[in-house]
């Protein structure tokens, strides 16, 4: 028994302990609940009573030796770890974190807001779930008006719908503010359309409204010309083609000269040299009356543009659906 104890002590002293894993293996082997010392104490029960005193002292001495080895190695490893951590150069730059970025639609939306802010327009926002009054009726579109067929609407329940444009925000502002009013209303809108490269069931608009005394169509044209040159370059020109919207009279479609081909004709402008980007017109007096604004004193203009349309032109994107695919390869180009 004595020779066995001496052999165990020798083996323990020669154990190679280099890290936390080998230290834990040592503890389990010698001091664990199923380790060597457990076996020694079990064998101790078979020793004759007259030898138990002397043998017990040897066993306790072995146990103390094994525990001392364990504690010394543990302290040695902890000190080594501390010394290594103290050698870290905290002045070195850390690991690079991948940089995110704004979505291209948000980039262009913010750019449009900045352009109009420079000429006095402030941002107004409103709910995306609207009632019939604000989305249609107050905008001179009564229930039997054929203009309602121009917009395929998502109805939540009777007279409650997802807004089909951001014009309801203009109505809410006109109902609560006294002119002069000069606002833009950026936001998401919804229409029940078939999703394709040129159309989607949800998209973004920026609409503008200016109400004051003696506002003219010339003011509208100059505002849109300023925007076009700031957004697409000083060589861009605009044209206004007669059109129809229930809430403006007269109404016009807004085209810009194709800055890609310099009006020579290309696939983007379909050979015409012009690209449509929105609609505009003088606010119909009926709309002003619905909002309790004196039509004898005030006039105004309104305009609206699709943010996706502007973004596609700016970045040369030919498929609207890519904005909603969340393809990291596409989005990383704008980080």
Query: Do residues 109 and 79 both lie within one domain?
Result: no
270 and 255 in contact (C-beta within 8 Å)?
no
Query: Do residues 245 and 115 both lie within one domain?
Result: yes
Q: DSSP string spanning 139-152?
A: GT--TT-GGGGGS-
Torsion angles phi and psi, residue 55, rounded to 5: -70, -35
The count of domains in the chain is 2
Residues near 49 by beta carbon (within 8 Å), at least 6 away in sequence: none
Decide if 141 is inside a domain. Answer: yes
Using CA atoms, how far residue 153 sits from 138, 162, 244, 269, in Å, is 17, 7, 19, 29
Residue 67, domain extent: 2-83
Q: Among the three residues 49, 83, 117, which one is the final residue of a domain in this structure?
A: 83
User: What's the pLDDT at 81?
Assistant: 64
User: What's the pLDDT at 234?
Assistant: 93
Query: Do residues 123 and 22 both lie within one domain?
Result: no
Decide if 91 is inside a domain. Answer: no
211 and 235 in contact (C-beta within 8 Å)?
no
Query: Do residues 17 and 136 both lie within one domain?
Result: no
User: What's the pLDDT at 226?
Assistant: 97
Rounded Cα distance between 211 and 295, Å, is: 10
Query: Do residues 10 and 63 both lie within one domain?
Result: yes
Reduced to 3 states (helix: H, G, I; strand: E, B; else coil), residue 304 is strand
| pLDDT, one tens digit for every residue, the chain (335 residues) | 778 888 888 888 888 888 888 888 888 888 888 888 888 888 777 888 888 788 888 888 888 888 888 888 888 888 776 655 556 677 888 888 777 788 999 999 999 999 999 999 999 999 999 999 999 999 998 788 776 776 688 999 988 999 999 999 999 999 999 999 999 999 999 998 888 888 899 999 999 999 999 999 999 999 999 999 999 999 999 999 999 999 999 999 999 998 888 888 888 788 889 999 999 999 999 999 999 999 999 999 999 999 999 999 999 898 899 999 988 888 888 87
Query: Do residues 46 and 132 both lie within one domain?
Result: no
User: What's the pLDDT at 32?
Assistant: 84
User: What's the pLDDT at 14?
Assistant: 84
163 and 139 in contact (C-beta within 8 Å)?
no
Decide if 99 is inside a domain. Answer: no
258 and 275 in contact (C-beta within 8 Å)?
yes
Q: Among the three residues 14, 48, 83, which one is the final residue of a domain in this structure?
A: 83
What CATH number is associated with residue 273? 3.30.930.10
Going by their DSSP bridges, the two strands 238-245 and 299-306 should be labelled as unpaired
Using CA atoms, how far residue 160 sits from 149, 202, 210, 260, 301, in Å, is 17, 17, 27, 42, 27
Query: Do residues 141 and 47 both lie within one domain?
Result: no
170 and 185 in contact (C-beta within 8 Å)?
yes
Q: How many CB atoms lie within 10 A of CB 150?
A: 13
């Amino acid at each position: 028994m004595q020779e066995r104890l001496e052999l165990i002590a020798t083996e323990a002293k020669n154990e190679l302990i280099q890290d936390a894993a080998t230290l834990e293996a040592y503890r389990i082997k010698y001091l664990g609940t199923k380790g060597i010392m457990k076996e020694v104490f079990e064998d101790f029960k078979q020793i004759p009573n007259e030898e138990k005193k002397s043998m017990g002292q040897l066993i306790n001495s072995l146990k103390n030796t094994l525990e001392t080895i364990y504690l010394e190695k543990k302290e040695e490893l902890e000190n080594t770890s501390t010394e290594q951590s103290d050698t870290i150069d905290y002045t070195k730059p850390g690991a690079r974190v991948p940089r995110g970025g704004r979505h291209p639609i948000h980039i262009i939306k913010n750019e449009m807001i900045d352009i109009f802010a420079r000429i006095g327009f402030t941002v107004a926002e409103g709910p995306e779930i609207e009632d019939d009054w604000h989305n249609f009726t107050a905008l001179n579109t009564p229930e039997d008006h054929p203009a309602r067929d121009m917009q395929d609407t998502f109805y939540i329940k009777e007279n409650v719908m997802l807004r089909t444009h951001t014009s309801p925000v203009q109505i809410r502002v006109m109902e609560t503010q006294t002119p002069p009013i000069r606002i833009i209303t950026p936001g998401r809108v919804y229409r029940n359309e078939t999703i394709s490269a040129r159309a989607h069931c949800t998209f973004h608009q920026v609409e503008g409204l200016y109400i004051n005394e003696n506002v003219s169509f010339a003011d509208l044209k100059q505002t849109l010309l300023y925007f076009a040159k700031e957004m697409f370059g000083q060589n861009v020109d605009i044209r206004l083609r007669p059109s129809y919207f229930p809430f403006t009279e007269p109404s016009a479609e807004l085209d810009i000269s194709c800055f890609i081909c310099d009006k020579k004709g290309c696939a983007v402008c379909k050979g015409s040299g012009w690209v449509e980007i929105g609609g505009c017109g003088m606010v119909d007096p009926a709309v002003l009356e619905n909002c309790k604004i004196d039509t004898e004193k005030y006039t105004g203009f309104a305009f609206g543009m699709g943010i996706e349309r502007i973004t596609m032109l700016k970045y040369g994107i030919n498929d609207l659906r890519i904005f909603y695919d969340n393809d990291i390869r596409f989005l990383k180009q704008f980080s």
